[in-house]
Amino acid sequence: MSKNKEWLASAGTNTKLCHTGYEPSDYHGFVNPPVVHASTVLFPNARAMETRSQRYTYGTRGTPTTDALCAAIDDLEGSAGTVLVPSGLAAISVPFLAYLSAGDHALIVDSVYSPCRHFCDTMLARLGVEIEYYDPEIGADIERLMRPNTRLVHTEAPGSNTFEMQDIRAIAEAVHRHDCVVTMDNTWATPLYFRPLDFGVDVSIHAATKYPSGHSDILMGTVSANAKHWPKLLEAHGAMGICGAPDDSYQILRGLRTMNLRLEHHFRSALRVAEWLESRSEVARVLHPALPSFPGHDIWKRDFKGASGIFSFVLAAGSADKVKPKAYAFLDALQLFGLGWSWGGYESLAVRVNLDDRKIRKGPEDGAVIRLQIGLENVEDIMADLERGFAAVASL
């Protein structure tokens, strides 16, 4: 934590976000840390250069700008250290490469972010790591899947696209009995609504592209580790030469200042839309953990402080041959919603989810899964646009 800010540890969320990750007295009183563009760093003499006995040695090893963001993330996560990487996928792949070697066995939740699955099935498999997928609702029974060579268990709660909840504490306790590292993709909740390390996770992963950025214009990932696993993560990060850019780091720092306010709006609006969708005859199911009707609601209510703005619903099809036509008609009729990947920005987005890569937790068979990112627009306008989609489906 920055000097003279011991009081910040007990401060409220909005206060913490406004004041973490910088120290104006270090920069002549300026409120925001400077954007330091750097590759080469000069040393005062040959001995200092040989021993690298100064804080900054080269651009890939950190700058005051990237350090400010890492410090802010550590404050939010309660972590021993954080590294920055150029994307959310890199935030997954770097710790996997840090903790896994040829001959190791890794357990990956079957509701995982699809690019993570692709990385596991291609790069990790080629490097000799055995990948096994498990049911997201397995809980403490994951211990049955542990092997002598199991080195990493990856979690994601809620799961990508279908939002299955995981009992993270139960999984971590079972896995740690085998001296195995637990990683978690916590992008959906952010550390404001769930702090993985408090529940036994060793390494917390975020796509800062999403809510920390908040404006659909930055690609970045953060990886935060507890004290036991921090040295190995830092070593791998440096060995791979992967780093976050200073301008992007500054933008993420700026996004953090308003993240809680934006998340609260996303939460309220998304829940209101989800409740409204539950009443629609065109909707078979709504997949939102904050709804009492959702199977994982009790875990969400017990462990999480809130919900973000992304969830899915199943657009009732009636028959298999109508799944795609109805989904396309619905999506093409939308005017406020954009059709695009990613989420966490200010604008609403919609996409038809493809779940064909699932191994265990198969996708719904009663219709198309439509994922919605509920943005910061007026919720009445959002629902009016969804009405356009339902009208288009009805006209088929």
pTM over 0.85: yes
What per-residue confidence (pLDDT) applies to 19?
Answer: 84
The answer to whether the CB of 270 falls within 8 A of the CB of 374 is yes
Q: Is 167 helix (H, G, I), strand (E, B) or coil?
A: coil
346 residue type, one letter:
Y
The CATH number fitting domain 259-394, selected from 1.10.1060.10, 3.40.1210.10, 3.90.1150.10, 3.40.720.10: 3.90.1150.10
State how far the Cα of 213 lies from the Cα of 215, in Å rounded to an integer.
6
What per-residue confidence (pLDDT) applies to 4?
Answer: 59
Domains 12-255 and 259-394 are alike in CATH topology: no
Per-residue three-class SS string for 344-387: CCCCCEEEECCCCCCCCCCCCCCEEEEEEECCCCCHHHHHHHHH
214 residue type, one letter:
G
What per-residue confidence (pLDDT) applies to 1?
Answer: 38
Tokens at 128, concatenated = 């000799």
If one looks up domain 12-255 in CATH, what number appears? 3.40.640.10
Percent of the chain as helix, strand, coil, to the nearest 5: 45, 15, 40
Tokens at 151, concatenated = 């080195």
What per-residue confidence (pLDDT) applies to 26?
Answer: 83
State how far the Cα of 286 lies from the Cα of 322, in Å rounded to an integer.
19
- Give pLDDT tens digits for 12-49: 888 888 888 878 888 888 888 889 999 999 999 999 99
Torsion of CA 110, 263, 181, 300, to 10 degrees: -60
What per-residue confidence (pLDDT) applies to 10?
Answer: 80
List, in order, residues 6 or more apart from 252 with CB less than 8 Å away: 69, 208, 212, 213, 218, 220
The answer to whether the CB of 387 falls within 8 A of the CB of 325 is no
CA neighbor of 373 nearest in space, from 274, 270, 289: 270
Torsion of CA 141, 147, 152, 155, to 10 degrees: -20
Residues of the chain below pLDDT 70: 1-4
Q: Where are the domains of the chain?
A: 12-255, 259-394
The answer to whether the CB of 57 falls within 8 A of the CB of 238 is no
The answer to whether the CB of 143 falls within 8 A of the CB of 275 is no
